[in-house]
Amino acid sequence: MNDKKYSVVIAGGGSTFTPGFVLDLIKSQDKFPMRELKFYDNDAERQKKIGEAVKIIMKERAPQIKFSYTTDPREAFTDVDFVMGSIRVGKYHMRSLDEKIPLKYGVNGQETTGPGGMAYGLRSIPAILQIIDWMQEYSPNAWMINYSNTIAIVAEACRRLRPGAKVINICDMPIDDMDRMAAICGLNSWHDIDFNYYGLNHFGWWKEVRNKKTGEDLMPKLKEYVREHGYWVGGDYDKDTEPSWEATFKKVADEYKLEPETLPNNYMQYYYFPQYEVANADPNHTRTDEILEHRQKIVFGECERIVEAGTAKDNIWDISGLHSEYIVDIIHAIAFNTHEKFLANCANDGAIANMDPDSIVEVPALFGADGIQPMATGMAGRFQRGLMMEQQTCEKLVVDAYVEHSYNKMLQAFALNKTIPDASVAKKILDDMIPVNAPYWPELK
């Protein structure tokens, strides 16, 4: 029995997801006991707002765990077992531009897909590599669990530029979709589901979905439901779901009909129906505005309320339930060598039989003390393989652009992407993005 107590640092301490994650960690102390929790951020003021509220939460609920927040990398990354990567380089200001610049030219404007996703990926690469370097310098035995986007591009940069680093790139979108599948089938949660899934990040398909306990094949039931309703559950399940997400989960019905052998990751909407996305977007009010008006306002408002009240009693995360349990499950699996199955973004190495070994793919993997062991998922369908080849080439070209400081590689990444109709449009979008990204991108020549 492992009786070690763990030290965790959250990089991006000022993230809107931080308080919920902290409460999940506290709730899991019997499963994943901790001795220290630290936050690291490069925006002291933003982090302080979350940090001061979390100080009160920790004092009330887990006084045995030492807590601090800092902007000093040495302090943050020394003596840690796990680094959680939750940064947003350029914050919501840059996400807003990622969304709005492409829409000006009639192109999909979205956080992690299309030109916005590639722009965001290029911003994230140097910051994530820097965090890995600090981790390796100050805590060489630590693992980094990264969910900072754009995951597919970050994972390709890690594969190429930090080979062997103890970094695992993960995403919660398939878990959200699987939780919906569980609800549709009358099960409690995604934990009750066994699955075979393959693809790239925000770009994948379920081949198999089963009841974990009984082995029952749930695909026929799900297909019948999804054809009509997508992954929209409705009722109590969806009482807090924002309008843009409602549209997203309902749109899965059309995605499914295009490829009825498998069930799609809901992000396929951006690649199958880019014109629909643009037609339904408001170029002056995008998802960023929705988050600033909703999630960010709620999170920072609640932190302020906790600090003023001097207590975290009855906080919103206690009431609304938490959504980051899977991250605790993942660090628990690594710490306790459980070899549980989760999805990971990693080098293919045969996991999808008809994709190149060096493709970054999102596939099931066993998580343990030695990191991840990707599982074989079989052959990708012809349709899926064609889509993946195009998309992963875009992702590789973004990393080429980073390494070579190449304008042309970034332009090729945009021109190749399924969401952009024409290389001249790609050029206009890129040329608008370069000056605003100057503080974060290498100079592209």
Number of residues that bind ligand NAD (CB under 6 A): 24
Taking CB under 6 A as the rule, does residue 89 contact ligand NAD?
Answer: yes
Q: Any binding-site annotation on 160?
A: no
Q: Any binding-site annotation on 149?
A: yes
Contacts of 42 (CB under 8 A, 6+ apart): 71
Taking CB under 6 A as the rule, does residue 177 contact ligand LMR?
Answer: no
Binding partner selected for residue 89 from ligand NAD, ligand LMR, none, CB under the kind-specific 5 to 8 Å limit: ligand NAD
Binding partner selected for residue 287 from ligand NAD, ligand LMR, none, CB under the kind-specific 5 to 8 Å limit: ligand LMR
* Smaller CB separation from ligand LMR, 179 or 400: 179
Task: Find the shortest distance in angstroms from Cβ 15 to ligand NAD.
Answer: 3
Taking CB under 6 A as the rule, does residue 48 contact ligand LMR?
Answer: no
Task: Find the shortest distance in angstroms from Cβ 16 to ligand NAD.
Answer: 4
The tokens for 46 are 């933003």
Residue of the chain from 111, 192, 325, 329 that contacts ligand LMR (CB under 6 A):
111
Binding partner selected for residue 42 from ligand NAD, ligand LMR, none, CB under the kind-specific 5 to 8 Å limit: ligand NAD
Residue of the chain from 7, 16, 110, 248 that contacts ligand NAD (CB under 6 A):
16
Binding partner selected for residue 172 from ligand LMR, ligand NAD, none, CB under the kind-specific 5 to 8 Å limit: ligand NAD
Q: How far is CA 109 from the centre of its chain?
A: 17
Taking CB under 6 A as the rule, does residue 395 contact ligand LMR?
Answer: no
Please list the active-site residues: 172, 267
How many Å apart are CA 216 and CA 194, to the nearest integer? 10
Taking CB under 6 A as the rule, does residue 171 contact ligand NAD?
Answer: yes
Interface with ligand NAD in residues 28-87 (CB under 6 A): 41-43, 46-47, 86-87
Q: Any binding-site annotation on 284?
A: no
**Cβ–Cβ under 8 Å, residues 230 and 249:** yes
Taking CB under 6 A as the rule, does residue 91 contact ligand NAD?
Answer: yes
* Smaller CB separation from ligand LMR, 325 or 400: 325
Taking CB under 6 A as the rule, does residue 288 contact ligand NAD?
Answer: no
Binding partner selected for residue 193 from ligand LMR, ligand NAD, none, CB under the kind-specific 5 to 8 Å limit: none
* Smaller CB separation from ligand LMR, 159 or 287: 287
How many Å apart are CA 108 and CA 395, to the nearest integer? 17
Phi, psi for residue 354 in degrees, rounded to 5: -105, 30
Taking CB under 6 A as the rule, does residue 14 contact ligand NAD?
Answer: yes
How many Å apart are CA 339 and CA 348, to the nearest integer? 19
Taking CB under 6 A as the rule, does residue 99 contact ligand LMR?
Answer: no
Q: Any binding-site annotation on 303?
A: no
Q: Any binding-site annotation on 287?
A: yes
How many Å apart are CA 270 and CA 280, to the nearest integer? 12
Binding partner selected for residue 15 from ligand NAD, ligand LMR, none, CB under the kind-specific 5 to 8 Å limit: ligand NAD
With 0-12 / 13-18 / 19 or more C-beta atoms within 10 angstroms meaning exposed / middle / buried, residue 4 is exposed
From residue 243 to residue 282, the character string flagging contacts with ligand LMR as x (rule: CB under 6 A) and all else as - is ----------------------------------------
Amino acid at 64: Q
Taking CB under 6 A as the rule, does residue 287 contact ligand LMR?
Answer: yes
* Smaller CB separation from ligand NAD, 170 or 415: 170
Contacts of 205 (CB under 8 A, 6+ apart): 197, 198, 199, 259, 262, 263, 264, 265, 268, 381, 384
CA-CA-CA-CA dihedral for 261, 263, 268, 271, to nearest 10: 10
Task: Find the shortest distance in angstroms from Cβ 19 to ligand NAD.
Answer: 10
Contacts of 438 (CB under 8 A, 6+ apart): none
**Cβ–Cβ under 8 Å, residues 87 and 15:** yes
For binding to ligand NAD (CB under 6 A), which residues are involved?
Answer: 11-12, 14-17, 41-43, 46-47, 86-89, 91-92, 127, 147-149, 151, 171-172
Instruction: Detail the residues annotated as belonging to a binding site for substrate.
Output: 95, 149, 287
For binding to ligand LMR (CB under 6 A), which residues are involved?
Answer: 111, 287, 291
Instruction: Detail the residues annotated as belonging to a binding site for Mn(2+).
Output: 171, 202
